[in-house]
Structure 1
């Protein structure tokens, strides 16, 4: 599909995407607080896989065509890694809340930049390394190691960010041979199979009200991914990616208004440092892409 470059529409779609994903995170926080995390993620993946299969049949013509790849092990690894990352992040929501989890997770673009050299062989200049270093200062401001008793749980969203960064790098790597449709198909189906094999062992009966919340969780998951696909279809990724940070703002609003969370001063300062470093990294990437 030839990509247009309607940046205002792309920005609007990205902001809408972050809002939907923030709502999804709020629903995940509630359900995972009541039921086992693995079961919640499993049911969410069932609907995600159904969406992916329907999309594959429409765009690729058949499931076989969408699944066709010369690197099935890497594609399966991507799907497994994303499923594991979602489980870790949802667990972080229940332990730390939305505000602090999202504040730490926002460092994942910096991790992608740092790992793109050793993993993909991309050149990372000194300016980006400085931005990465500044970003991790922001992470340390949030985690506050050495101040009082360090809470190990604070490192959970950092682990999720590292897993998501590796997933993103693997996605870049497989895209050298596979189409986006193929990668998206493997993301949904491999994750669904893995979560079903694990999650069924942790099945718990749910109340009628929570089944409604679960249905909303599944709908927001599908809607969010559809909006994200549309976003990247209508505008350049480098132009709209900085607006992904709106998810932190929306997540904080939901965490404060619904779950009575609070924003500690160090979390606000650390998140601002991470976002500034991330925006600088995006800006440098865009300058470099224009130079190329």
Structure 2
């Protein structure tokens, strides 16, 4: 019996999965650069270089989507709100990397898709059934297993990737609103520019002159972040979100591998147990949302 999926569609989906995996590797490598630099440089400086160098790949996306006209925005207020949420996410996450292992911080930040579901009710007026609320609850239990509040293993810094996940969720929600009026290029470019300018204004108050080697690492970090966003954009253009979602969680595998290779860090059993609940809940929420849209 002939396949129901044409070779062209299958090829595009495979390409999309490849781009998603590449994007996740790039994002984790960017985080590793930030973690390495965080021991010697203030966080505002790390954020500034991340966004400033990240503007270069963003310009490629602008060119791919039709040039400067693609930067027109129909909702400047929402662009500013998205940048504010994005700034909160990156400042909190990069700060957490000073104190936590790369994989541990990554695992906690996986709370973001669940926060999107929870906040979509009051902010977007969406309907969420009991099954998805149950999955959100289970996911937050997973986050608490990783955090272990009240125990001797609890670290205050573990709150930072949780806060980053909440801010990132707010950024995703504003992106949903902006997607109705603005091109991807406008969303990516203005977000990077606004955060870069805001972080740049703080540099006189906290600045360490980098060595040439570290300046190269700053540039690599920013380029990796910008290029990874472009790769992930290509992924969503070629494959459905439901297909790509499991590969999004490959970031935990890459962060574990890189964390072990560079810092000899390995997550403990509690982190893995909580991560399983977080990832499973996130995938189930996506499954329910996909069914609701196709029903």
TM-score, normalised via structure 1 length = 0.92
Match of 1:137, SS?
A: helix
Answer yes or no: is 1:171 the counterpart of 2:212: no
Query: Is 1:119 matched with 2:112?
Result: no
Match of 1:218 in 2: 222
User: Which residue does the alignment assign to 2:67?
Assistant: 61
Secondary structure of the residue aligned to 2:99 is: helix
Q: Does residue 93 in structure 1 map to residue 69 in structure 2?
A: no
Q: By how many angstroms is 1:211 displaced?
A: 2.1
Deviation at 1:147, TM superposition (A): 2.1
1:250-284 Cα offsets, whole Å, 9 max, x none, are: 01111122112131111111111111111111111
Which structure 1 segments of 5+ residues have no match? none
Larger displacement relative to structure 2 (100-109 or 78-87)? 78-87
Instruction: Identify the residue that residue 162 of structure 1 maps to in structure 2.
Output: 166
In the alignment, the residues of structure 1 paired with residue 142 and residue 100 of structure 2 have an alpha-carbon distance, to the nearest angstrom, of 17
SS at match of 1:132: helix
2: CA distance, partners of 1:24 / 1:184: 17
| TM-score, scaled to structure 2 | 0.91
What does 1:20-99 correspond to in 2, within 5 Å?
20-57=26-63, 59-62=65-68, 65-99=69-103
Unmatched segments (≥5 aa) in structure 2: 1-8
**Post-superposition shift, 1:209?**
2.2
1:244 counterpart = 2:248: yes
Map of 2:196 onto structure 1 = 192
CA 1:216–1:179 in 2, change beyond 3 Å: closer, same or farther?
closer
Deviation readout 1:114-150 (Å, 9 max, x if unpaired)? 1111111111111000000000110111111222374
Compute the displacement of 1:13 (Å).
Answer: 1.2
- Does residue 128 of structure 1 match 2:158? no
Give yes or no for contact 1:5–1:236 (8 Å, CA) kept in 2. Answer: no
2:147 paired with 1:143: yes
> Which of 259, 264, 269 does residue 265 from structure 1 map onto?
269
Kindly tell me: are residues 259 and 117 of structure 1, through their superposed partners in 2, closer, same or farther at Cα, counting changes over 3 Å? same
Deviations for 1:56-94, whole angstroms, at most 9, x for unmatched residues? Answer: 2553332xx333223211111212321231111011111
Conservation of the 8 A alpha-carbon contact between 2:56 and 2:226: no
Aligned length: 287
CA distance in 2, matches of 1:121, 1:191: 28
- Report if aligned partners of 1:101, 1:157 keep a CA contact under 8 Å in 2: yes
C-alpha separation in 2, matches of 1:221 and 1:103:
19
Q: CA distance change for structure 1 residues 174 and 5 in 2, over 3 Å: closer, same or farther?
A: farther
On the 8 A contact 1:24/1:221 being kept in 2, the answer is: yes
**RMSD of aligned alpha carbons:** 1.9
> Alpha carbons of 1:5 and 1:199: their partners in 2 closer, same or farther (altered >3 Å)?
farther
